[in-house]
Amino acid sequence: MLAETIYKLMLYGFLMVSFACFYAILYTLGKAIRLPYLQKLSYSFGVLQFLSGLGMVTSDYLDLLWRAIILFSTFAYLFIPPIMWRVVTAFHERGTSKTL
């Protein structure tokens, strides 16, 4: 039983990281090359990442502290790609306006 629980936690963790990666990559590509369908597709990976994180949180094997950390990171990562896109574009806009 313990081996099955650890297997599920490892699977959920792998899926969470993989889906988060696809979410960030597709979101960035969609914004960079102005393809809205890629950006919309990225949101589906964001939802899958969120569900994978919830799968880890519902495990009875993890302590309450680890559940809280995973739940916080699951929620936080939903907002990281859009916020970082704004930060990077603002940084580059400020950098190009100073050199002109």
Tell me 79's DSSP state.
T
**Predicted confidence band of residue 94 (pLDDT cuts 50, 70, 90):** confident
pTM score of the predicted model: 0.85
CA dihedral 41, 54, 19, 82 (to 10 degrees): 60
Report whether 34 contacts 91 (CB < 8 A): no
**Predicted confidence band of residue 100 (pLDDT cuts 50, 70, 90):** low
pLDDT tens digits, one per residue of 21-72: 999 999 999 999 999 999 999 999 999 999 999 999 998 899 999 999 999 9
Q: CA nearest 55: which of 17, 22, 96, 1?
A: 17
The predicted structure's pLDDT at residue 60: 87
Report whether 22 contacts 39 (CB < 8 A): no
